[in-house]
Amino acid sequence: MLQQIIAYIKFLKRSTNQHGVHSPFVYNLITKCFYDKSKYNKYKEIASYRKALRKSKDTINVIDLGSGSRVFKTSQRSVSKMVQKVGASKKESKLLFRLVNYLQINTILELGTSLGIATHAMAVANPEIKMTSIEGCPNISAYTKGTLGQFNLKNTEILTGDFNDAIKPLALNKYDLIYFDGNHQKQATLDYFETLLTTTTNDSFFIFDDIYWSKEMTEAWEIIKKHPQVTVTIDTFFLGFVFFRKEQKKEHFKIRI
In order of their start, the domains of the chain are 2-254 (3.40.50.150)
How much is the pLDDT for 8? Answer: 86
How much is the pLDDT for 183? Answer: 86
How much is the pLDDT for 184? Answer: 87
CA distances from 108 to 42, 94, 96, 179, 197 (A): 18, 16, 11, 8, 14
Size (the chain), residues = 257
Running along the chain, 257 residues long, what does each successive block of 10 average in pLDDT? 84 87 94 97 97 96 67 79 89 98 97 97 96 96 96 94 95 98 92 98 97 95 98 97 96 95
E strand spans, the chain: 59-61, 76-78, 107-111, 130-135, 156-160, 177-180, 205-209, 232-235, 239-243, 251-254
How much is the pLDDT for 75? Answer: 83
How much is the pLDDT for 87? Answer: 82
d(CA 91, CA 106): 22
